[in-house]
Amino acid sequence: MQDANICLPLASSLVQAINNLSLNALKMLETLWSSLPEPSLTKQVQMFKIALVLSVFSNKKESSKHTLEVLKRLYKANMKAGYKVPINYFCVPEVSNVIIIPVDLKNWRIYQTQTEANGTILPEMYCRYPFILTFATKIQYLHFDAIEKMNKEKIQANQVLMMNRLQGSSDNPRIPILHLKLRHQHLVEDALKKLSMVEDCDLQKELQVEFHGESTTDPLANMAEFFLLVAEKMVQPDYGLFTCTDPLLPVWFPSHPLADKKLYYLYGIMCGLAIFNQTVIYLPFPLALFKKLLGKKVTLEDLKELQPTMGRSMQSLLDTENEKDVERLDLYFTLSWENQTVQLIPNGATERVTHLNKHNYVNKCVEYIFNTSVADTFEEFRKGLYKVCDKDILLFFQPEELMSLAAGHVNYDWTLFEKTTIYSGKYSPTHPTIIKFWNVFHQLPMEKKKAFLYFITGNDKIPVFRLQHLCMKISSFGVPSESYLPEANTCSQILLLPEYSSSGVLRRKLLLALENNRGFEKN
C-alpha cells in the first residue's frame, strides 16, 4: 500500500471502511494508532498521504474527502500520543500547490453556516484540514481573506454612492479605508486615541497612515514606519505595559499591571492590524504568547525561554531521582515572582515539594506565570487582536508559524540579503567601499548581523511576505566623510554609508553605529 501504482484502490476501500465505523470503534482505532511506535505510525500517515495525492490528481473527489477525514483522525491520534510524528510530516505540498484558494475559502465559509445534516452535499474543503497545508498556503488564505474583506468595503461604498447619486442625494457613504492621521512627535498617543474611537466595522478596512505635515509618497513605508515606532515604544518596560528582567530576554505581561487594561486591548488591535495588513511588527515575546492565542498548552520549555535560569532549575528538580535530594531543596508550593511570594495552592506555604508531587509543583509554577497571573490583561490583548483578525483562519497556523507570520522568522539567508541589496549614488556591487562592507558584514557573528538587521529594518527577524521588505538600499547621497558613523533610515531601509579608507575603519565605525544608533531614534 506504499506503492503509488496500486495504493489508491486499496486505500479508497480502507478509508471508506474506517469512516463507516461506529464511534466506539473509531475511538478504539485511534487509541491503537496512538500506541504505535513512531516508524509504524509514520508509515500509516505516509500511506494515506500518497492516497490523497493520487485521489486529488485523479479528480476522485469522494475518495479525497474520505482520505482527508482519515488523515484528520490520524492527526488527532498522533497529537494524543505526544506528537510521535512531527506535525510538519502531515503536510502534503503536492495538494497545497494545486488548491484554488478563493474557491476553497468560499466553500468553507458556506460550510460554516450549514452542515451535511441538512442534506446538502458539501464539496471537499482543504482548509478544514490545515495540517496538510504548507505555511505559504496558509498565508495565502489569510491574505486573500483580508483582501476580500477590504474590497467588499470598497464595493459597498461605491454602490451606496451610486444609489445616492441616482436618488439625487448628496450624502456620501462611509469611507472604505481606515485612515489614521498622526503626529510624529505624539505618535503613540495619537494612534491609541484614534483606535479607541474606531468602530469595529472599520478595523477590517484597508489601513492608510498619514503623518501631519508630510506628503504621502509611499503608503507602505508610512504604514511600516507607524507599526515600527509604535510597537517598539509600547513594548519597552518603561512604557508600563510589559516587563522584562534582561534586555536579551523576551518581554511578558506583568502580574500586577500599572497600565489601564484598555491599553492591552488597543495593543492587541495594533498587532491585529499589522497581521491583517500584511506587515511584520516588533514582538519580542516568547512562543508562549502565540500558543495562548491558539489555545495551545504552555509548558516548562516556554518558561525556559522566558526565564532561562528559573526554567533550568525546575528542569533540574524534575531530573532529580533521589527523593532525599528533593527534600534537601526545602521547597514549598510557593513561587517568588515579580518581587512577591505567591501560594500556588491553598496553604501552599505549608505544602512541601516531594519527589512524588514535584511535577505538579512545576506545572503550577508554569500555570501561574503564563496563565493565572496574566489572565485579565492577556484576555484584553487577545480580544483586541481577534477584533481585527479572523480567529478561524489564524487557527490554521501552528504557534511557531503564527510567530513567524506576525514578527518575522529567523531563517537568515545573508547571501540573499546581499544579492537583493540596491545601490544608489556612486555605489555599485563592485565599488571598493561596498566590497569592504560585505567582507566585514559576512565576518560578523550572528548576534551582530541580527543587530544590523534591527538597525536597518527595526526588526531582527525576516518578514515572511512582501519580499521588498528585505531589500536594503545602500546610498552615498548626502553621506559625510569617513569620520562619521553609518546611519540608517529605518522606514525606507536605507543605509547611508561613508567611503571608508579601510576594512578596519569600516568595521569599527559599523559596530559603533550598531551600539549607538537606532534608525529614526539616533543618539
Active site residues: 491
- Helix, strand, coil abundance in the chain, percent, nearest 5: 60, 5, 35
Q: Outline where 117-260 has alpha helix (H).
A: 135-166, 187-197, 219-235
CB 236 within 8 A of CB 229: no
CB 509 within 8 A of CB 482: yes
Residue pointed to by grid coordinates 519580499: 467
Q: What are phi and psi of 412, to 5 degrees?
A: -75, 135
CB 51 within 8 A of CB 66: no
Residue pointed to by grid coordinates 481573506: 145
For residue 232, give the nearest of 523, 519, 463 by alpha carbon.
519
Q: In whole angstroms, what is the distance from residue 195 CA to residue 216 CA?
A: 20
Which of 191-197's residues contact partners 24+ apart within 8 Å by CB, and which partners?
191/226, 191/230, 191/270, 192/263, 192/266, 195/266, 195/269, 195/270, 196/262, 196/266
CB 507 within 8 A of CB 440: yes
Tell me how far apart the terminal alpha carbons of the chain are, to the nearest angstrom: 66
